[in-house]
Structure 1
């Protein structure tokens, strides 16, 4: 009887430990804002991209260019450097800006450097293997008029269990014809994080 009691008790303890260590997953709407650590997240990326692209398209350079050339400007998004204290997937942020630019319908959008290299390899393959009526000739690419590039910086201020996380995103739109900066934009975010186990 004593052995049976110990066996049952042991089974209960093991079951309790397994339940306590189990992982819980809840699916939520992708558009819902969730801040767990206070670090840069998908909401920040979307919000900053939307606001900065709206700003760049509303500035004088756009009307000046269209009035002078009679066409929409061709834009490419270049490098956005992460100079912050944390890991930020800048590719996601760049993708958000590309989406906002394309969906605005106000600019022609040129593929990135990596994408262009892949497409050029495909053209070479077509030149060797595709029929004359379907192959695409080299040297017909549309060049960009402007490149959008920038950086993300942070300032972290911590005292005890509270932390202020300050993000500053600086972007510049540069003319590829003459290296003029035709627009400089800046977006700032500030978060107060209260947590017993802060990340630095």
Structure 2
């Protein structure tokens, strides 16, 4: 009987320790609404990116430089500086800017990232392996009219149990011929959080 009580105590203690250990996320489901707000933590989220990019794209395509252009402007995207204290994939933000602008039909893009691949393909096609009728060579690419770059800033303030996280996404559209900024705008986002006591 004494042995049984000891064994039971060990089992109960083991279960108690297991329940106190780290929990794993073992079951998930797809969110039907990808635009649903995500404020699960105080970090930059996909909701922040969607809100900021949407505002920037709407502002740019409604500006006279784009809206009143006689032909579709050709644009190239460069770097977005990350001036926050977080590790944020700024390439992902600029990819969304490029895709949403392309979907608007008011802007066309040249791909900076593909330049090396294009140069290698020119060399391959110029080696005699492709027909003269289909061969592509240097000198035919379209030059960009504008360049898009920008910066992501943040300010974090924490007092007592309250915390605010502020983001500002600034983008510039610069005329490559003149060097003049043809359009610039920013989108501000501020999120507020309250710290809860452990166990609540």
TM-score by length of 1: 0.85
- Give the aligned partner of residue 35 of structure 1: 39
- Give the aligned partner of residue 22 of structure 1: 23
Deviation at 1:136, TM superposition (A): 2.4
Deviation at 1:123, TM superposition (A): 2.7
- Give the aligned partner of residue 6 of structure 2: 6
Deviations for 1:102-145, whole angstroms, at most 9, x for unmatched residues? Answer: 1111111111x222222322332333363224432222211111
Give matches, 1:1-200, under 5 Å. 1-20=1-20, 21-24=22-25, 25-29=27-31, 30-66=34-70, 71-111=71-111, 113-128=112-127, 130-132=129-131, 133-195=133-195
Deviations for 1:57-100, whole angstroms, at most 9, x for unmatched residues? Answer: 1011124432xxxx210112211101112222111111110110
Cα pair distance change 1:129/1:42, threshold 3 Å: farther
Distance 2:17 2:118 in 1: 54
Determine helix, strand or coil for the equivalent of 2:69: helix
4+ runs deviating over 6 angstroms: none
Distance 1:9 1:122 in 2: 71
Distance 2:196 2:122 in 1: 56
Q: Which runs of 5+ in 2 are unaligned?
A: none
Deviations for 1:31-82, whole angstroms, at most 9, x for unmatched residues? Answer: 332212222111111111111111101011124432xxxx210112211101
- Alignment root-mean-square deviation, CA: 2.1
Distance 2:36 2:68 in 1: 39
Deviation at 1:19, TM superposition (A): 4.4
Distance 1:12 1:101 in 2: 60
Determine helix, strand or coil for the equivalent of 2:5: helix
TM-score by length of 2: 0.85
